[in-house]
């Protein structure tokens, strides 16, 4: 094992499979003590199976790492608090959380049900908030008592959230919210020694295999392996990332990038006459960059 994260206590939600599993394995391989959280549900969030989390813990134990399994539902208030408490009770502290748990309920807007909307928002957005809130409270109390923190919150956004993808208004809205949440939380928590960042991964997992990625050729699949995301998450969870906060990163087997947030574009003086809006706004739109495509590039006209 290496030692980039030696002795650091890290909670990883949704760590039983896919990207989260790769996070847990690499963090443990770099010396972290990992709480492997996963309810073991299906990709739409239904069901419960403790097996995946325990399987990852067993893998970590095989190479001499330290990890414990956790099956709490982090989309619930009690579950979010419980996973943080388990880390502190088991290992005597907490240094980083990676909010990775997620589900999909894709549907075009006109057909989406209330339940499909609520379920996705609850797991992604509320789950990120809940675990972050309990961890932040722990770090704030440490700071107030005179102790120092070298803490991290690493959230999971998505190209669907920062760039957009048809059929995912629920998922994209949650992921866009997580990107903004990360930027604002970074502003609030830096005083307590907490760095907050987000990763927008592109990878082939059970969540994405039926979105056109499952039929990709072997070279593309290799570039989409979720292991490519883990080095960035591991670095962000380590002490090496000190001072890096409030940023959204993109990661895949093809690139590592920093996503640039909203910036004010072409601007005109304020208008108080509605009959003059059309001409001015159309000129602004003509001068503005178009919205990006799913890959963060300008859409072709």
Q: Mean pLDDT over residues 17-30, rounded?
A: 97
Tell me, yes or no, whether 201 lies in a domain. Answer: yes
pLDDT at residue 48 greater than cutoff 80: no
Query: Which residue is catalytic, options 23, 91, 163, 171?
Result: 171
Residue 211 pLDDT > 60, yes or no? no
Per-residue confidence at 301, pLDDT binned at 50, 70, 90?
low
**Domain end marker among 240, 259, 278:** 259
Indicate if 171 belongs to the active site: yes
Would you say residue 164 lies in a domain? yes
Residue 45 pLDDT > 80, yes or no? no
Q: Are 279 and 244 in a shared domain?
A: no
Question: Are 154 and 291 members of one domain?
Answer: no
Asked if residue 3 is part of any domain, the answer here is no
Residue 300 lies in a domain: yes
**pLDDT of amino acid 222:** 73
As a whole number of angstroms, the distance between CA 152 and CA 122 comes to: 22
Q: Same domain, yes or no, for 45 and 128?
A: yes
- Residue 42's pLDDT band, with cuts at 50, 70 and 90, is low
Segments forming the whole domain that contains residue 52: 9-259
- Does residue 25 sit in the same domain as residue 147? yes
288 and 161 in a single domain? The answer is: no
Least confident range of 125-134, 178-187, 203-212, 275-284: 203-212
Task: Using alpha carbons, select from 77, 94, 76 the residue that is nearest to residue 85.
Answer: 94
For residue range 101-128, list pLDDT tens digits in order.
999 999 999 999 999 999 999 999 999 9
Query: pTM of the entire structure?
Result: 0.93
Written as six digits, the tokens of 273 are 């006459």
Residue 4 lies in a domain: no
**246 occurs within a structural domain:** yes
Report if residue 222 sits inside a domain: yes
Q: Tokens in use for 127? A: 């789950």
Tally of structural domains, the chain: 2
268 and 136 part of one domain:
no
Q: pLDDT digits over 122-150, tens only? A: 999 999 999 999 999 999 999 999 999 99
CA dist 289 to 161, 270, 286, 294, 299, Å? 19, 21, 8, 15, 9
Claim to verify: residue 227 and residue 243 sit in the same structural domain: yes
Same domain, yes or no, for 197 and 284?
A: no
The answer to whether residues 231 and 283 belong to one domain is no
Q: The domain spanning residue 147 has which CATH number?
A: 3.40.50.720
| pLDDT, tens digit (0-9, with 9 covering 90-100), for 237-278 | 999 999 999 999 999 999 999 999 999 999 999 999 999 999
CA 149, CA 94: separation in Å to the nearest integer?
9
Q: Do 225 and 195 share a domain, yes or no?
A: yes
Residue 212 pLDDT more than 90?
Answer: no
Indicate if 293 and 189 belong to the same structural domain: no
Considering the domain architecture, whether residues 171 and 279 belong to the same structural domain is answered as: no
């Amino acid at each position: 094992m290496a030692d980039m994260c030696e002795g650091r206590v890290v909670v990883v939600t949704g760590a039983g499979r896919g990207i989260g599993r790769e996070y847990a394995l690499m963090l443990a391989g770099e010396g972290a003590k990992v709480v492997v959280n996963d309810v073991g549900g299906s990709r739409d969030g239904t069901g419960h199976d403790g097996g995946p989390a325990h399987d990852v813990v067993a893998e970590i134990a095989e190479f001499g790492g330290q990890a414990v399994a956790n099956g709490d539902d982090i989309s619930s208030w009690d579950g979010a608090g419980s996973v943080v408490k388990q880390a502190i009770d088991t290992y005597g502290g907490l240094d980083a959380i990676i909010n990775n748990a997620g589900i999909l309920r894709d549907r075009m807007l006109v057909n989406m049900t209330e339940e499909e909307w609520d379920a996705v928002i609850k797991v992604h957005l509320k789950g990120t908030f809940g675990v972050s809130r309990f961890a932040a409270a722990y770090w704030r109390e440490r700071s107030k008592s005179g102790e120092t923190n070298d803490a991290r919150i690493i959230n999971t956004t998505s190209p669907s959230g920062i760039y957009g993808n048809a059929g995912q208004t629920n998922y994209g809205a949650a992921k866009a919210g997580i990107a903004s949440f990360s930027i604002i939380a970074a502003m609030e928590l830096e005083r307590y020694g907490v760095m907050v960042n987000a990763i927008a991964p592109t990878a082939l997992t059970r969540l994405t295999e039926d979105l056109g990625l499952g039929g990709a050729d072997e070279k593309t699949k290799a570039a989409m392996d979720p292991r490519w995301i883990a080095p960035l998450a591991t670095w962000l969870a380590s002490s090496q990332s000190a001072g890096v906060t409030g940023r959204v990163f993109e990661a895949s087997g093809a690139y590592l990038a920093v996503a640039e947030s909203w910036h004010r574009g072409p601007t005109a003086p304020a208008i108080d006459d509605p009959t003059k809006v059309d001409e001015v706004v159309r000129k602004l739109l003509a001068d503005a960059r178009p919205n990006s495509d799913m890959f963060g590039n300008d859409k072709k006209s």
